[in-house]
Amino acid sequence: MRATETKTLPENRETPAGGSLKIYNPKDFPAYLPKLNQLFDDLFSGGKGFRAKLIQMMATELGLEQRCERLLAQTIEFIHNASLLHDDLIDGSPLRRGKTAAWRAYTPEYAVLAGDYLLARVMVNLSSYGNIRLVQYTSEVISDLLEGEWLQDSLVGDFDIDLSQLDRVHNLKTASLFKWCLRAPFLAISRNEPSLHTILEEMGTLLGQLFQRGDDLLDFNVRNDEGKAVMGDLQAGYLNSFGVFAAKESDRTQLKTCKTLTQFYHCVGGETIFWKKVSDFDEQNKFLIQLYRHHVTNLEKYLLPEEKHLLKKLEPLTDILYWRKSERRG
Amino acid sequence: MGELKTIAKSDPAFSSYLLGTFSKDDRAISVKSLNVATAAETVTFEIIPLAEIKAPFFLRKWALTLKIKNYFLLYFPMFLIISKNLMDNVPFDPRLALWSLLAATFLFAAMNLRNDFRDHLSGLDRIHPDSGSRAIQKGWITAHQAKNLSTAFAVLGIACALPAVIGLPELLLVIGVIALLAIFGLSVYPHGLKYRLWTEGFAFLLLGPLLTVGFQMAIGAPFDLESVFLGIITGWLAVYIVHLKNFEAIMVNNQAGFTNSVGIMGFEKGKRLMAVWWISLLVLIDVYHWIYNSLFWTVSFIVISLALSWALLKYLRTLTSPVASTFKIALDRCRQLGIFMIYLWILENISYLLVIELASR
């Protein structure tokens, strides 16, 4: 029976499509619910699995046992994918990872239930590990994520929003998962010092903010090597962080009719000004990168000698998340 | 970008950075954090040369640092007391009135600066987006300077209050009540009273009955019920402003675990609380006018109250999310309605005083 199967950690395997620790084992889901399994098969194929890789990196350097590493990687992927299921439905996004989004391929009801199911699995699997602090923290992160989702929905059609308000939403919605990736491996080995977690929390916040801002730039076709759809946010009525920054001195009412990049250039005063704004935005974010690196340096005193290699792995993350340099190049 | 430095609270150098006494040429600006619920065992500072600190011109800088825009909460009740006495021909000592006004001004400035200092020490100004004047956060002054200035203003305030206290020792009772409230409040909330339930009661008494009755006595006028009534109105108005401030920060306060009426009631019920608070404020003003003032102004206030209440309810209806752009705008408008009522009342009293002056000629 399903319930007894999950008392121990599932035997996860690496997904060939992801080529990473983005773990999904069909046995982890009830065999008598074929549609749910089919939905998860679709959902878990593709994607970069960045968060799971981050867990893998942390786990390796902290010497976590493989069972724990898999549990954490699975947890973050389940939470992330649950949020995507809900997110696509809320945003009305027709595509996810180049395929029809779950709510359209199945039904909105199935998408909601599948997302809820993943979050429930997270709690079942994590609680079987027996670290109550980790379970509590994970629950907090899930509630932060949902709060962020809730708040972000209230911003659709709001073109007068300011960056500090958006940062608060992104801290809940995006950064919470990065914070979890950094803090959970330490909690899993009962390294609970408040000072250590303050630093990790700040680092996660900065990574989340930088990732979100980098992602928002892709929407305006800046450093968009991954070929993300352009102007999707504005077309959906959502002014993202770069949009807010670039349109700071512009007539915001014009943004409502902005559907193409050319129209956006016009809104902010021309293409030259647009690129100047990109440069200013980068300059502002360089402070966040500097702050992140400063925290990485400070992390050193909390690490054991054999863990210090972690610092070299953590430092270049901003290159990947904000500057969108490929991991190989990075 | 300045150099970054993270210092643990246990570090002996910590307080010198927090107070800003570590250097004469640099400012240590504590970096803001979005993580309100994290125990801040360490603080990260950006070290910026003093020459690079951007501050507005002198007068604006000090107006913002001392939060001059909030002084109406102090001067308005005092104006009502003075004008009431003039209209009713109640004798009072103008010199004592001036000393008391100065004393209250200095003590209010001392309190504001002390608040900023405490916010900085407790870390509240690193997590709260709009807490205090932010003069320390922006590097205009150091926390140490804020504390010293606060002490200097407090001493000046006490010195200015002396003539009134010597003339009327009963005033010590009012001062004692205020001191007791502050001591008790700070013993319950050692990191400060801001955004707490306690502040609402404290603001009501301090900017309400204690201020009006205390001022009435300090200027040598006899105690009367009208001063108490005026105090209830101005205290109610002060709490209305506090509710608006708490509503504006509902998200951060909630995440940080600060308890106040708006936070306890939640977003939708909090809106209702503000509507009820505003309407009861207007009822109090209208009843006061009906008892003490002319029919013309009573009717005028009732008509204007109805119009302003309609406007307030309209603004409150637009509040749907704590992060929406309309949120701050709507709350600012609710605040402006309160200020409009004050202007109207000032206009009324000035018109009375002009009529009395003209009649006496």
pLDDT tens digits along B137-150: 899 999 999 999 99
Give me the sheet containing B26-30, strands edge to edge: B3-8, B42-49, B26-30
- Angle at Cα B213 formed by Cα B208 and Cα B216, nearest 5°? 125
Average pLDDT over residues A275-280: 96
Check if A201 contacts B (Cβ < 8 Å).
yes
User: What is the mean pLDDT of the segment spanning B159-183?
Assistant: 82
The pLDDT tens digits for A168-217 are: 999 999 999 999 999 999 999 999 998 899 999 999 999 999 999 999 99
| Confidence at residue A11, expressed as pLDDT on a 0 to 100 scale | 40
A4 near B CB under 8 A: no
In whole angstroms, how far apart are CA B210 and each of A180, B177, B181, B229, B339?
A: 50, 9, 12, 11, 21
Q: Residue A151 and residue B35: Cβ atoms within 8 Å?
A: no
Question: A interface mutation test: which of B30, B34, B134 has the most A CBs within 10 A?
Answer: B34
CB nearest to B35's CB, from A162, A194, A205: A205
Neighbours of B2 (CB within 10 A): 16
Cβ of residue A67 closer than 8 Å to a chain B Cβ:
no
Give me the pLDDT at residue B176, please.
Answer: 81
CB B244 within 8 Å of CB B261: no
- Beta-ladder partners of B30: B45
CB contact under 8 A, B42 and A195: yes
In a mutational test of the A interface, the residue from B5, B325, B331 whose CB has the highest number of chain A CBs within 10 Å is B325
Q: Looking at this protein, which amino acid is placed at residue B139?
A: G
C-alpha closest to that of B289 among B302, B298, B280, B281: B298
pLDDT in tens, A26-63: 567 888 888 888 888 888 887 778 899 999 999 999 99
- For the cut 90, the answer to whether the pLDDT of residue A298 exceeds it is yes
Q: Which residues of A fall within a CB distance of 8 Å from B35? A: 171, 198, 201-202, 205
Non-local (6+) Cβ contacts of B230 within 8 A are: B77, B80, B81, B84, B212, B288
Q: What percentage of chain A reaches a pLDDT higher than 70?
A: 90
- Which residues of chain B are within 8 Å of residue A198 when distances are taken between CB atoms? 35, 38-42
Quick check: B165 pLDDT over 90?
Answer: no
Write out chain A residues lying below 8 Å of B31, CB-based.
291
Check whether B27 has a pLDDT greater than 90: yes
- Closest CA of chain A from B117, distance in Å: 23
CB atoms within 10 A of CB B86: 15
Rounded Cα–Cα distance for residues A100 and A111 (Å): 12
Pairing of strands A99-100, B26-30: unpaired
Cα separation, B218 vs B85, in Å, equals 13
- Of A155, A198, A286, which has the smallest distance from its Cβ to B323's Cβ? A155
Task: Specify whether the CB–CB gap between A195 and B9 falls below 8 A.
Answer: no
Sign, CA dihedral B11-B12-B14-B15, equals positive
| CB < 8 Å to A161, chain B | 323-325
- In the prediction, which pLDDT does B237 show? 96
Three-state DSSP class for A100? Answer: strand
Sequence-distant (6+) residues with CB within 8 A of A166 are A155, A240, A241, A244, B323
Q: Half-sphere exposure of residue B114, counting CA atoms within 13 Å on the CB side?
A: 16
In sequence order, which ranges of A92-193 are alpha helices (DSSP H)? 102-105, 108-129, 132-153, 163-173, 175-188
Joined together, the tokens standing for residue A289 give 């990168």
Contact B41 A194 (CB under 8 A): yes
Mean pLDDT of chain A: 87
CB contact under 8 A, A287 and B1: yes
CA distance A294 to chain B (A): 7
A154 at interface of B, judged by CB pairs closer than 8 A = yes
Looking at beta carbons, which residues of chain B come within 8 Å of A243? none
Segment A267-293 shows an average pLDDT of 95
Residue A220 has phi, psi (to 5 degrees) of -105, 20
- Say what angle helices B225-248 and B267-292 make with each other, to 10 degrees: 160
Q: Calculate how close chain A gets to B113, using CA atoms only, in Å.
A: 25
Taking the CA of residue A41 and the nearest CA in chain B, the distance in Å comes to 36
Q: How far A259 CA sits from the closest chain B CA (Å)?
A: 22
**Percent of chain B clearing pLDDT 90 (strictly above):** 55
> Chain B partners of A160 at a C-beta cutoff of 8 Å?
325-326
Within the 213-252 window of chain A, which residues sit less than 8 Å (CB to CB) from chain B? none
- In angstroms, the separation between the Cα of residue B127 and the nearest Cα of chain A is 11
Is A168 within 8 Å of B325 when comparing Cβ atoms?
no
What does the mean pLDDT of chain B come to? 88
For residues A321 and A208, give the distance between their C-alpha atoms in angstroms, rounded to a whole number.
8
pLDDT per position as a tens digit, A4-34: 333 333 344 444 333 444 466 656 788 888 8
How many C-alpha atoms does A85 have within 13 Å on its Cβ side?
28
Percent of chain A with pLDDT strictly greater than 90: 61
Range A20-23, long-range pairs (CB < 8 A, 24+ positions): A20/A48, A20/A49, A20/A52, A20/A53, A20/A56, A21/A49, A21/A52, A21/A53, A21/A55, A21/A56, A21/A69, A21/A70, A21/A73, A22/A47, A22/A49, A22/A52, A22/A73, A22/A77, A23/A52, A23/A70, A23/A73, A23/A74, A23/A77
CA distance A224 to A232: 13
**What are the CB-based long-range contacts (under 8 Å, 24+) for A274-283?**
A274/A220, A274/A246, A277/A242, A277/A245, A277/A246, A278/A217, A278/A220, A278/A222, A278/A242, A278/A246, A280/A245, A281/A213, A281/A217, A281/A242, A281/A245, A281/A246
For residue B130, pLDDT beyond 80: no
Chain A, chain B: beta-carbon pairs less than 8 Å apart:
70
**Residues A26, A29, A30, CA angle at the centre, nearest 5°?**
120
What counts of helices (H) and strands (E) characterise chain B? 15, 3
Q: Nearest chain B residue to A147 by CA: give it.
A: B251
ipTM of the complex: 0.82
Q: How many CB atoms lie within 10 A of CB B56?
A: 12
pLDDT of B133 > 90? The answer is: no
d(CA B112, CA B118): 10
Chain B residues with CB under 8 Å of a chain A CB are: 1, 4, 6, 8, 31, 33-35, 38-42, 44, 129, 251, 320-326
Mean pLDDT of A308-327: 90
Per-residue pLDDT of B311-343, as tens digits, reads 999 999 888 888 888 888 889 999 999 999 999
Is residue A280 less than 8 Å (CB to CB) from chain B? no
Q: What is the pTM of this model?
A: 0.86
Q: What is the C-alpha separation between B220 and B242, in angstroms, rounded?
A: 31
Residue keyed to tokens 């109640």:
B90
What are A120-147's pLDDT values in tens digits?
999 998 998 889 999 999 999 999 999 9
| Cα–Cα nearest to A155, from A95, A91, A101 | A91
Backbone angles phi, psi at B198, to 5 degrees: -55, -40
Greater model confidence, A229 or A283:
A283
Scanning every residue of chain A, which has its alpha carbon at the shortest distance from the alpha carbon of B321? A154
The reply to whether residue A161 touches residue B33, judged by beta carbons under 8 angstroms, is no
Contact A195 B1 (CB under 8 A): no
With beta carbons under 8 A apart, name residues in chain A contacting B253: none
Nearest-CA distance B55 → chain A (Å) = 20
pLDDT: which is higher, B154 or B181: B154
pLDDT at B40 over 80: no
B323 closest CB neighbour out of A154, A175, A201? A154
User: How confident is the model at residue B82, as a pLDDT?
Assistant: 96
Tokens, residue B182: 């502050």
If you average pLDDT over each of A89-93, A140-144, A254-258, B184-188, which comes out highest? A140-144
Span B232-238, average pLDDT: 96
> Taking CB atoms and an 8 Å limit, are A197 and B251 in contact across chains?
no
Distance separating alpha carbons of residues A184 and A133, to the nearest angstrom: 9
Alpha carbons B178 and B162: distance in angstroms, whole number? 16
* CA nearest to B182, candidates B136, B234, B120, B174: B174
Instruction: Note whether A160 contacts B: Cβ–Cβ < 8 A.
Output: yes
- List pLDDT tens digits, range B264-300: 999 999 999 999 999 999 999 999 999 998 899 999 9
State the first-to-last Cα distance of chain B, in angstroms, to the nearest integer.
67
- pLDDT of res. A18: 39
Residue with tokens 């080529």: A19
Considering only CB atoms, B34 lies closest to which of A198, A205, A294, namely A205
**Closest in A202, A287, A294 to B33, CB measured:** A202
Inspect the interface and report whether the beta carbons of A154 and B8 lie closer than 8 Å.
no
